[in-house]
Amino acid sequence: MSAFRPRIVALGGTSRPGSSTERALRHALRLCEMRGADSVLLAGDDLVLPMYAPHEASRSPKAHRMVAELRLADAVLIASPGYHGSMSGLVKNALDYTEDMRGDTRAYLSGRAVGCIVTAAGWQAAVTTLGALRDTVHALRGWPTPLGVCIGGDPAFAEDGTCVDARVDAQMQLLCDDLMSFAHRFRQDAARDAQRAAA
């Protein structure tokens, strides 16, 4: 198990580089890296994609890259701002592209733990957005970690990305512990199933 380095794909933020949501996502990704993960960040301009259209077969290079990275992911981090009680259109549109993974052996987000993070100006928007994000992850067959992190009210991150809220940092630590633990567990289960199939 120690030789396995889970590949964590972090997706989210806003179209504005360095947003509070992106800082939260980067902080969580750093915590996963400290626990032995390899990481990929898809934030800001990476997620400025054409509106998902199921009838349109062509894909932009950014959309191709995002789906390819998600296919390789052992676990996923998703961070969204709370916009009017739900996730942003930017994040929802990006997640809609996982429809391209419907025919995969691991369809959509199957077999992947997903850590959910929400930032908002107030707690009501943060909580309702977290619920919406978890519902979407369930619909995509992903496994949301038991703890999702809501960040509301006062800024939790300094300009340089340092977490300045001890409560938020503690919750992020727990989320990343679970994400890494589940990634290892899913890898072990997949290896066991492969051995059984080959026997």
**Domains of the chain, first to last:** 7-198 (3.40.50.360)
Residue 1 in this model has a pLDDT that exceeds 50: no
Residue 2 in this model has a pLDDT that exceeds 90: no
Round to whole Å and give the CA distance between 11 and 124.
23
Distance of CA 42 to the CA centre of its chain: 9
Q: Which residue has the tokens 């340092």?
A: 162
- pLDDT category at 72 given cuts 50, 70, 90 is very high
Round to whole Å and give the CA distance between 171 and 143.
18
Model-level pTM? 0.93
Which runs of E-coded beta strand occur in 17-85?
A: 38-43, 75-83
Q: Residue 65: which of 94, 35, 23, 22 has the closest Cα? A: 94
133-183 tens-digit pLDDT:
999 999 999 999 999 999 987 789 988 889 999 999 999 999 999 999 999
Round to whole Å and give the CA distance between 120 and 95.
20
Among the ranges given (53-62, 103-112, 118-127, 187-196), the one the predictor scored with the smallest mean pLDDT: 187-196
